[in-house]
Amino acid sequence: MYRKYVLRLIGVVVGLLLLSAATVLVLDPAFQYHLPLPGIEATYTNERYQNAGLIKNQDYDSVCIGSSVTSNFRASWFDERFGGKTLKVSYPGGTFADFDIALETIYATHDIERVYWSLDPRLLAADPQDSESMPTYLYDFNPLNDIQYLLNKDILLESCAQTVLATLTGTHTDLDEAFVWETESTKYGLDVAIASYERPKDIGFQYDRHVFNEDLRKNLEIIDKWVDGHPETTFYLYFPPYSTLYFDSIKRQGQIDAMMFLLYDTANRYKDKENVKFYSFIDQNAITTNYDNYTDMVHYRSEVNRYIVDYMADNPPLDASGVEAMASHLRSLMANYDFDSLYPPSVQDKYK
């Protein structure tokens, strides 16, 4: 009798597990096995999980990749200006190690003509392994570890539930709008940017220019791996337009020389490569000193993303004189810009 009940219990558990796996397999909210089936609405809620499936199953020949500063791009903008079919894969909080994992799967599944890659200075200066957890089992091709997806409680109860709700309510999200963080209620402006920025104390000296070198070298090796390994691909590499608040932070933390070396060294490394077009937006004052573009010191409105696409399509990349001009401009900015004037007089003494 006891054995009979145990076998029934085991049968019920196995049946529930199979039902759960089948539900995830059919709805497939992370697009691991297929894109949304007819009549099923996709929801886009988790880049790290869902990018893997989009990379494997979408049709594309070009990729826009980077941190959350790339989230407000629409892939269609690149298609309009450069041709081809673009997939955007943004990774908020991502590092170059995350981009490396994504590119491994991208090149394993597609022939790539163009890569639009945001080289965030603060990521170039950071340990590439210091990132949020990547579900690497979704990016590989080993069916044995798919159990982590098919029997994932969060996938079943949250992601699948969101898919069902969107389907029942007829809520459609176009892939072009996937993972865009800007909404009608997003606020921009100096007050908003400063409110999210904890201004560091001025340490009163500058560190050696090589202070970022160890991590910079690791990140450049990742970029080199793809640029040098795929001469058939044109890489549009660029420094995104961080606001001048970022340079206030750099200056007060004694990192001017180190950041200038990082920017100068990176730009010079790639400006002459045959399959690279290198651009800098971090020195374009019309953007970076207009705080109506920013919601914090580095994240900007969609219009700036559109400007980046159009600028790269309409203008030649940096050459040697352009790199020198960028470096000269940024040094002048950090030496002469009145950062204190951005703050109300009542709080300026706090930061001295």
Summarised one tens digit per residue, pLDDT across range 149-202 is 999 989 988 999 999 999 999 999 999 999 999 999 999 999 999 988 889 999
> What is the chain's length?
352
Q: What is the pLDDT of residues 93-139, one digit of tens each?
A: 999 999 999 999 999 999 999 999 999 999 999 999 887 789 999 99
Prediction pTM value: 0.94
Query: Does the pLDDT of residue 78 top 90, yes or no?
Result: yes
Mean pLDDT score across all residues of the chain? 93
Query: Does the pLDDT of residue 246 top 90, yes or no?
Result: yes
Q: Helices marked H in the chain — which ranges? A: 2-27, 47-57, 75-82, 96-109, 121-124, 136-139, 147-150, 153-154, 160-169, 190-195, 213-229, 244-252, 256-270, 285-288, 302-314, 320-336, 345-348
Query: Does the pLDDT of residue 214 top 60, yes or no?
Result: yes
Tell me, what's the pLDDT at 63? 98
User: Predicted confidence band at 243 (pLDDT cuts at 50, 70, 90)?
Assistant: very high
Query: Does the pLDDT of residue 351 top 70, yes or no?
Result: no
Position 212: which residue type? F
Share above pLDDT 90 across residues of the chain, in percent, rounded to a whole number = 84
Mean pLDDT of 330-337: 92
Tell me, what's the pLDDT at 102? 98
89 forms beta bridges with 65
DSSP codes joined into one string, 231-245: TTSEEEEEE----HH
Gap between the Cα atoms of 48 and 71, Å rounded: 13
Tell me, what's the pLDDT at 2? 67
Tell me, what's the pLDDT at 1? 60
Share above pLDDT 70 across residues of the chain, in percent, rounded to a whole number = 93
Tell me, what's the pLDDT at 5? 66
For 221-259, give one letter per residue: b (16+ CB within 10 A) or e: ebbeebbeebeebbbbbbbbbbbbbbbbbbbbbbbbbbb
- Which range of 12-16, 217-221, 336-340 scores highest in mean pLDDT? It is 217-221
Mean pLDDT of 143-152: 91
Long-range interactions of 325-331: CB distance < 8 A, separation 24+ = 325/283, 326/263, 326/267, 326/280, 326/282, 326/283, 327/260, 327/263, 327/264, 329/283, 329/285, 330/247, 330/260, 330/263, 330/282, 330/283, 331/256, 331/260
Tell me, what's the pLDDT at 101? 97
Q: What structural domains and CATH numbers belong to the chain?
A: 16-349 (3.40.50.1110)
Query: Does the pLDDT of residue 349 top 70, yes or no?
Result: no
The alpha carbon torsion through 216, 94, 309, 29 (nearest 10 deg) reads 150
